[in-house]
C-alpha cells in the first residue's frame, strides 16, 4: 500500500479550494436568497484590477481549458454588477481558461456588494457556532477562500482561530466522501481524522470500521499509520521481509499496546516482534507492561 500520498507538497496543494460540497454548506439557503445564477457572455465579464493574483500559469491554464472543453465549467464564477459589466470576485482562472477554450458564455453567481458582505458575515457567524461539525466548518472556510478570495490568514483573523487551525480543518475536505459522512454521522473529532488526510483512500476505507468500533484516539490512529509505514520500509531492509499473514496480528498488538508494532520475518522463517517508542515517557509506559 502506498503511504506517500500528499508528501512533499506545500500546504496550499493540500487545501481543497476548487469546490464547495453543497451537502455541508451551512449557508446554501442564504446564498440562494442573495445570489442569482446566470449565464454571462465572456465579453460582459472583466477581471478585478485590485485582485492580488496577477500570474496564471500557462500550463495549468491550458490543462484547465482542456478540461472545460470536455466537461464545461463545473463551478460558476462569482461576480458583482459594475455598471454595464460584471467584475470577477472569484474565478478569474476559470474565466481565462474558458476564453482559451473558445467558450462564449460562462455560468456565474451574480451578487451585489451588500449581498457579498452579508454572506461573508453569515458564513463567519456560522463558523463560530459551537454546534457545527468539523466538515461543515471546513466547507465554510473553503467557501470564504473560493468565493470571497480570503486567505487562510484572513479567515483565521475573522473567526478567531490560528492560521494553522484553519488550514488543518480545511484539509479535512480531502478525505473521501464516505469517510466524511462517517465522521459526521458518528461525531468523530477532528483530531482523530486529521492523520488520515494524506493517506490512500484504500487504507482509509480499511481502517474506518475499526476506528469507529474500537473508538480509536488520535494517538492510536497515528500509531497504526506509523506501524503500517514501518512495515512497508521493513520489506526493503537487510533482506528481511514482513509476512503479510501477520498484518492482522501486528495491527492488533498496535491497538493493544497503543504503540507501533512490527512483526518481522526473515527469509529463514525466524522473526521478531518490535515495539517502537518516540520518547522516554512512551518507553516507561512500555516497560510497565512487562
> End-to-end CA distance of the chain, in Å?
32
CA distance 206 to 135: 21
CA distance 161 to 81: 33
Bridge partners of residue 86, in order along the sequence: 45, 81
Whether residue 273 contacts residue 262, with contact meaning beta carbons closer than 8 Å, is answered with yes
Find how far residue 82's CA is from the centre of its chain.
Answer: 34
Per-residue cell: 237: 531492509
Per-residue cell: 274: 518490535
Phi, psi of 239 (to 5 degrees): 75, 0
Of the listed 92, 136, 222, 282, which one is catalytic? 92
Per-residue cell: 26: 451551512
CA distance 64 to 96: 9
Question: DSSP 3-state assignment of 189?
Answer: coil
Whether residue 129 contacts residue 160, with contact meaning beta carbons closer than 8 Å, is answered with no
CA distance 205 to 51: 41
Active site residue 214: no
CA distance 145 to 152: 7
Cell numbers 467558450: residue: 103
Angle at 191 between CA 188 and CA 193, to 5 degrees: 60
Just list the catalytic residues.
92
Amino acid at each position: 500500500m502506498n503511504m506517500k500520498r500528499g508528501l512533499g507538497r506545500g500546504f496550499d496543494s493540500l487545501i481543497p479550494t476548487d469546490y464547495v460540497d453543497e451537502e455541508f454548506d451551512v449557508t446554501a439557503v442564504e446564498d440562494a436568497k442573495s445570489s442569482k445564477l446566470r449565464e454571462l457572455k465572456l465579453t460582459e465579464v472583466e477581471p478585478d484590477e485590485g485582485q492580488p493574483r496577477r500570474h496564471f500559469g500557462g500550463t495549468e491554464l491550458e490543462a484547465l481549458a482542456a478540461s472545460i472543453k470536455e466537461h464545461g465549467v463545473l463551478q460558476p464564477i462569482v461576480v458583482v454588477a459594475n455598471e454595464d459589466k460584471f467584475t470577477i470576485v472569484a474565478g478569474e482562472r476559470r474565466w481565462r481558461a474558458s476564453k482559451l477554450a473558445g467558450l462564449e458564455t460562462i455560468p456565474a453567481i451574480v451578487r451585489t456588494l451588500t449581498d457579498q458582505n452579508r454572506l461573508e458575515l453569515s458564513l463567519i457567524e456560522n463558523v463560530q457556532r459551537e454546534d457545527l461539525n468539523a466538515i461543515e466548518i471546513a466547507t465554510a472556510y473553503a467557501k470564504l477562500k473560493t468565493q470571497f478570495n480570503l486567505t487562510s490568514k484572513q479567515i483565521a483573523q475573522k473567526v478567531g482561530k490560528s492560521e494553522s487551525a484553519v488550514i488543518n480543518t480545511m484539509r479535512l475536505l480531502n478525505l473521501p466522501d464516505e469517510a466524511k459522512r462517517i465522521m459526521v454521522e458518528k461525531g468523530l473529532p477532528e483530531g482523530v481524522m486529521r492523520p488520515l488526510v494524506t493517506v490512500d483512500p484504500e487504507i482509509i476505507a480499511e481502517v474506518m470500521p475499526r476506528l469507529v468500533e474500537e473508538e480509536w484516539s488520535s494517538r492510536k490512529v497515528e500509531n497504526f499509520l506509523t506501524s503500517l509505514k514501518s512495515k512497508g520500509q521493513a520489506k526493503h531492509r537487510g533482506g528481511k521481509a514482513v509476512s503479510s499473514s501477520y498484518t492482522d496480528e501486528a495491527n492488533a498488538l498496535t491497538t493493544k499496546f497503543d504503540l507501533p508494532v512490527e512483526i518481522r520475518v526473515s527469509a529463514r522463517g525466524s522473526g521478531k516482534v518490535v515495539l517502537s517508542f518516540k520518547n522516554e515517557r512512551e518507553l516507561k509506559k512500555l516497560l510497565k507492561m512487562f
